[in-house]
Amino acid sequence: MRSISNTLLAVLVGLAGALAAVSPAAASSSPPQELGGLDLGAYCRSLGSADAVLAGSTAYDWHCAGADGRRGDLTFEAACRWAYATGSAVDRIGDFRDPTSVRCWRVAPETVAPDFENYCTSRGHSASVLLGSTVYDWRCVNYSRGGPTYFSVDVLAVCKKTTGAATVERFVNYYDARSWQCRV
């Protein structure tokens, strides 16, 4: 009987060890998933507005409008969560100057700041530099006697280097260069 108990205990300990080894992989989140675009008119109507209106040429120029024409704020992240009925949805503006480039993604709740410096230096550049105040103003730079030479930055590649995982690069505020997020 003692032999059976010891064998059973050994099996249970081995099984527990195997489950412990598997659990980190099982606990890891799935890769980001593109959910799709938005019907901003339907979202605005769900809030009691008459429709969505585009009052300019950038993604930030979308507004919910009342029947009287008054414009209200429109939050893409809230619209994504409403449209896809999930709290894990976020918006991603593909090109700030293209108001139709907003897509929704399902991501894990954690955010990671992209490491522009590490990305640039790992590619053989001297450093990263911010040449303005918008999210599109990041550059890699090489310094030499002839002066600095600037190179464009692929923020998705920066996020992949920073996180080591499949990710979505997104900014929270176009006018805040430090609002980039890597979402996995």
Per-residue pLDDT of the chain in tens (184 residues, 90 and over written 9): 444 444 333 433 343 343 333 333 333 568 999 999 999 999 999 999 999 999 999 999 999 999 998 999 899 999 999 999 999 999 999 999 999 999 999 999 999 999 999 999 999 999 999 999 999 999 999 999 999 999 999 999 999 999 999 899 999 999 999 999 999 9
Q: What is the pLDDT of residue 30?
A: 84
169 has which bridge partners?
Answer: 182
Q: What is the pLDDT of residue 39?
A: 97
Q: What is the pLDDT of residue 29?
A: 62
Euclidean distance between the first and final Cα of the chain, in Å?
51
Cβ neighbours, 10 Å, residue 37: 13
CB environment 136-166: b (16+ within 10 A), e (fewer): bebbbeeeeeeeeeeeebebeebbbbbbeee
Contacts of 144 (CB under 8 A, 6+ apart): none
Q: What is the pLDDT of residue 173?
A: 97
138 has which bridge partners?
Answer: 130
SS3 106: strand
* CA quadruple 124, 151, 178, 90: dihedral, nearest 10: -100
Q: What is the pLDDT of residue 24?
A: 33
